[in-house]
Every structure is written in structure tokens, then in C-alpha cells.
């Protein structure tokens, strides 16, 4: 196959890849594949199981064809792997090729097929922004989590020293105390824990109220603030990328139009030269 023939195929692959109908169809197949996995959690007749097995193989084949089209549409194959989301999709498709037989790996293969639904993230820009914001905010959230752990640790040690004789089930050691504080932080019957300690220490409510103030109000709002701030930054980046793509399309259109005009002028000049006596 010569270069021009491959270029024609590549242009067709690009047209398919950039087609919105094709993109929506891929999203529909991803959702359908996820629903199939959910349906298989119910007891089904043998005929239905056979049909689902066939559909699973058909979906796997479609994903292989779809990822192949996207890879072939690139000017160079390595350009495909320069984008993190393309690598993400490629790994999921490769994992989907693990056969679903009765071997000991069948359960793992079925569980890995659940990740197909995560391909929706790479196809829906808004989901990509949310995931990118979450990943970008993780380092900042890590420092908040570290500070939160320090507060949990201090309160757990204090709780063990003060309340272990009242209820060793909740305050018997450091690990159990941390779990109890997590229960308090999530407001799971925390008043029962507090009232139990108040039968011995009347002012123990100050311990619980101050802990809830730090954990539920201060640190939680800090986490939310970080995510909202990063999400706003990611939205701005997406808008800049869209603006850049529009400018590139406009420049490409203008260059193509200029080339067509120059070609017409050249042909017109040749026509005028040929018509001279």
C-alpha cells in the first residue's frame, strides 16, 4: 500500500473518529456493556447467559476496532500514547481481552470489565474536567488530611486516657478510639457516645463539640474549598484549549481558502496567457 492510499484511509479514520454520531454510539455501547454486567448479577436462564456471553464478545470486538480506528487516525502511532486518556482507554481495552472462561481468573476478568464504564470519562469533557480537578487537588488535600490525622491522633489519645474505663469497647486502645472518632465525625449516633461519657465527666461535651468543629466544619470546608478552586482552574484550562482549537481551525480554514484562491489566480493567469494572440 503506497503512501497516498494510506493517507486516504487515515483521513477516513479521522472522519470516523471525529464524527459525533460515532462518539455517541461508543458511549451507548459503554453504557450497554455496563448494564450487561449488572444484569449478570441476577439468576438468569441458560439461554440468557448464552446471549450475554455472545454480546460480551461482540462488545469486546467493537472496543478493539474502535481503539484501532483511533490509533490509525493519528499521524504517528506514538502521538496516540502522548495523551493520558488514550493510554487509559488502551489499557481498559487490553484488559477486556482477558477471556471469560471457567478458570480461576474468570472472576478477576469480570471485575476488570467493570472498568469499561470508566471510559465514559474520556468521552465526556465535563467528566474529564472533574477527574482532572480531583487528581490535581490530591497533593493539596494530602496536607489537609495530614493535619486532620494529627487532630484525630491527639483526640484519640485523650479519649483513650479519659474514657477507656467508661467504655473499653469504644475507647479501649488507640485504633478503637480512632474508629470511634470517625463515627463521631460522620455524626453516626455521636450523641449516644457523648452522653455516655457525660455520666462521669459532665464537661466532656466540650471534647466532642471541639472535635466536631475541627473535623466536620473546618477540615471538610477546607477540602471543599480546594476542590472548588482547582475545578475552577480546570474549567479555565478547558476554555483556553477550546479557544486554541477554534483558532487553529480558523487558521487552517484561512490557509486552505488562500491556497484555493492562489490556485484559481494561477489558472486564470494561464488562461489569459493562452488566449493572447
> Residue 3 has what pLDDT?
53
- What is the C-alpha to C-alpha distance for residues 234 and 126, in angstroms, rounded to an integer? 10
- Every domain of the chain with CATH number 1.10.287.70 lies at 140-250
Question: In the chain, which segments carry CATH 1.20.120.350?
Answer: 5-123
What is the C-alpha to C-alpha distance for residues 208 and 222, in angstroms, rounded to an integer? Answer: 20
Residues belonging to the chain:
277
**Do 33 and 116 contact (CB within 8 A), yes or no?**
yes
Model pTM above 0.75: no
Q: Which of 169, 187, 185 is nearest to 177 (CA)?
A: 169
Q: Which letter does DSSP use for residue 277 in this model?
A: -
Mean pLDDT, range 131-150, rounded to an integer: 86
CATH, domain range 140-250 = 1.10.287.70
- Average pLDDT of the residues of the chain: 81
The string of pLDDT tens digits covering residues 43-66 is: 888 888 888 888 888 888 888 898
For the ranges 113-117, 123-127, 220-224, the maximum mean pLDDT occurs at: 220-224
- In 14-39, which positions are buried (b, 16+ CB within 10 angstroms) versus exposed (e)? bebbeeeeeeeebeebbeebbebbee
Over residues 76-89, the mean pLDDT reads 82
Q: According to DSSP H, which parts of 102-171 are helical? A: 106-113, 119-123, 125-163, 168-171
Superfamily designation of domain 5-123: Voltage-gated potassium channels. Chain C (1.20.120.350)
Amino acid at each position: 500500500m503506497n503512501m497516498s492510499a494510506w493517507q486516504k484511509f487515515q483521513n477516513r479514520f479521522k472522519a470516523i473518529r471525529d464524527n459525533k454520531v460515532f462518539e455517541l454510539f461508543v458511549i451507548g455501547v459503554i453504557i450497554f456493556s455496563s448494564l450487561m454486567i449488572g444484569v449478570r448479577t441476577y439468576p438468569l436462564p441458560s439461554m440468557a447467559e448464552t446471549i450475554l456471553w455472545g454480546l460480551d464478545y461482540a462488545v469486546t470486538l467493537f472496543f478493539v476496532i474502535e481503539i484501532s480506528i483511533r490509533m490509525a487516525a493519528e499521524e504517528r502511532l506514538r502521538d496516540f500514547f502522548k495523551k493520558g486518556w488514550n493510554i487509559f482507554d488502551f489499557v481498559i481495552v487490553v484488559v477486556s481481552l482477558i477471556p471469560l472462561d471457567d478458570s480461576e481468573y474468570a472472576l478477576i476478568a469480570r471485575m476488570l470489565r467493570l472498568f469499561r464504564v470508566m471510559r465514559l470519562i474520556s468521552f465526556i469533557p465535563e467528566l474529564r474536567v472533574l477527574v482532572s480537578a480531583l487528581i490535581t487537588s490530591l497533593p493539596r488535600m494530602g496536607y489537609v488530611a495530614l493535619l486532620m490525622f494529627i487532630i484525630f491522633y491527639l483526640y484519640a489519645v485523650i479519649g483513650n486516657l479519659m474514657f477507656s474505663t467508661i467504655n473499653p469497647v469504644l475507647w479501649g486502645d488507640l485504633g478503637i478510639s480512632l474508629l470511634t472518632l470517625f463515627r463521631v465525625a460522620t455524626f453516626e449516633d455521636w450523641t449516644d457516645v457523648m452522653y455516655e461519657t457525660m455520666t462521669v465527666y459532665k464537661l466532656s461535651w466540650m471534647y466532642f463539640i471541639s472535635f466536631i468543629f475541627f473535623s466536620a466544619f473546618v477540615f471538610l470546608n477546607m477540602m471543599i474549598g480546594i476542590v472548588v478552586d482547582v475545578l475552577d482552574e480546570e474549567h479555565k484550562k478547558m476554555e483556553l484549549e477550546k479557544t486554541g482549537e477554534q483558532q487553529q481551525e480558523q487558521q487552517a480554514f484561512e490557509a486552505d481558502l488562500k491556497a484555493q484562491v492562489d490556485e484559481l489566480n494561477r489558472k486564470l493567469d494561464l488562461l489569459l496567457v493562452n488566449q493572447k494572440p
